[in-house]
Chain A
Amino acid sequence: MEKPRTHERGFRLLMEKYQERLYWHVRRMVHEHEDANDVIQNCFLKVYRNIHNFERKSKLYTWLYRIAANEAITFLKKRQRRSAASLEDEESSPVYSLQADPFFDGDEAEERLMQALAELPEKQRLVFNMRYFEELSYKEISEVLETSVGALKASYHHAVKKIEAFFKAEL
């Protein structure tokens, strides 16, 4: 059995190496810093509890990415249910949240891009973010999301077309 201090030291190293990449991945999904903070903390708590279950069948980073993506989607689904239950008002819409977020300083175009992204289904948004912002190959995305490359390409293409249509409708 490993000693707790060794476990903690190893975990701290792992966090220092991957926390920023995973945080930005989550932040692009949930937008607000406070939400991203909750999600990323829950994600790393899961990693802390289950690191001994990591089977080395995939890369460590792929495994971490998968946990973060699942946590973000779970969070978004919960938020959707809450919004539906409270008959979503203006204040709970993603765009309003972004405008009120002191840690968002994007220009108008970036804000509209976030607005367009918020309208995509979670999985499609995830694929778009991983390809467009994080510049991952389809193979890497496939390993994280356990989806075929063909399905991912179709998903990304659909997402791009929907976002483009959103911008054209705004003009």
Chain B
Amino acid sequence: MSERDKIKEELEGLSPLLSKMKGESRHPFRVPEGYFDGLPDEVLRRARAEEGLVRDGLPAQGRAKKAGGLAGWLQWWLMPRQAIGLAMALVLLAAGAYLFWAQSGLSAAGEVLAGISEEEAKAYVSENIGEFGLDLMVEAAIVSEEGIPGVEVLPEIDEVEIDRYLDDYLEDISLDELEELL
């Protein structure tokens, strides 16, 4: 049985109405005269136009890749999009390297400090007290929650008391002494 007969038999079983319609139907669509004769030319014209666009649209990229060698490679990398990408990659690389080395430095310092006993540290601070600013010492005292031996942080003094002290002091001082001080 041919495929056409199989289809006919199948359709008769499914829908006698459609089977009858199929037997009577003809081709209801038409095309403009000579349409198929001109279609290959039209498609080829469009294909050539597209190929031209591709060639004209990507001149630098195309030529650079075709040029080959070091010059072509450099030309390709210096195109705006590639250059921006390359610059960003270098910036990210530099930032990454900086963070890596900074982290390594910190951990190295931490390792060295871990090897110093508390007694040795206190002795070092006492001997070199002149090199420590007050802020640093206060900060250290806060961090360790202990005072630094040999150093007393000034107690908090009320501003009224300071003014009173200065008034008393200024009353006892002569004008010459005051000019010298100023």
User: Given the complex of chains A and B, what is the CA–CA distance between A167 and B24 in angstroms?
Assistant: 16
B residues 26-74 with Cβ under 8 Å of A? 28-32, 35-36, 39-40, 42-44, 46-47, 50
* Contact status B40-A135, CB under 8 Å: no
User: Given the complex of chains A and B, what is the CA–CA distance between A66 and B24 in angstroms?
Assistant: 29
Cβ–Cβ < 8 Å partners of A15 in chain B: 39-40, 43
A-B contact count (CB 8 A): 87
For residue A114, CB closer than 8 A to chain B, the reply is yes
Q: How close is A43's CB to chain B, nearest CB, in angstroms?
A: 9
Interface size class of A (residues with CB under 8 A): 35 or more
Cβ–Cβ < 8 Å partners of B39 in chain A: 15, 19, 23, 40-41, 44
Interface residues of B, dominant DSSP: helix
Interface size class of B (residues with CB under 8 A): 20 to 34
Q: How close is A89's CB to chain B, nearest CB, in angstroms?
A: 24
Cβ–Cβ < 8 Å partners of B28 in chain A: 104-107, 110-111, 114
Interface residue stretch chosen among B13-21, B88-96, B116-124, B168-176: B13-21
User: Given the complex of chains A and B, what is the CA–CA distance between A8 and B40 in angstroms?
Assistant: 10
User: Given the complex of chains A and B, what is the CA–CA distance between A12 and B76 in angstroms?
Assistant: 37
For residue B137, CB closer than 8 A to chain A, the reply is no
Cβ–Cβ < 8 Å partners of B46 in chain A: 41, 45
Q: How close is A171's CB to chain B, nearest CB, in angstroms?
A: 10
Cβ–Cβ < 8 Å partners of B40 in chain A: 11-12, 15-16, 19
Q: A49-B47, A103-B29, A131-B7 are in contact. Are A167 and B17 (CB under 8 A)?
A: yes
Please tell me which one of the listed residues B3, B18, B31, B42 contacts residue A41 in the complex, with CB atoms under 8 A apart.
B42
For residue A88, CB closer than 8 A to chain B, the reply is no
* Contact status A12-B42, CB under 8 Å: no
Cβ–Cβ < 8 Å partners of B24 in chain A: 109
* Contact status B15-A33, CB under 8 Å: no
* Contact status A135-B36, CB under 8 Å: no
| Residue-wise interface mask of A (31-45) relative to B, using a CB-CB cutoff of 8 A (1 in contact, 0 not) | 101000100110011
* 19 examples of A-B residue contacts, CB within 8 angstroms: A12-B40, A15-B43, A23-B36, A24-B29, A28-B29, A44-B43, A103-B31, A104-B29, A106-B28, A107-B28, A113-B25, A114-B28, A131-B7, A132-B11, A135-B4, A136-B3, A160-B15, A160-B18, A164-B15
The 9 closest A-B pairs by CB, nearest first: A106-B28, A110-B28, A15-B40, A164-B15, A103-B30, A44-B43, A160-B14, A48-B47, A12-B40
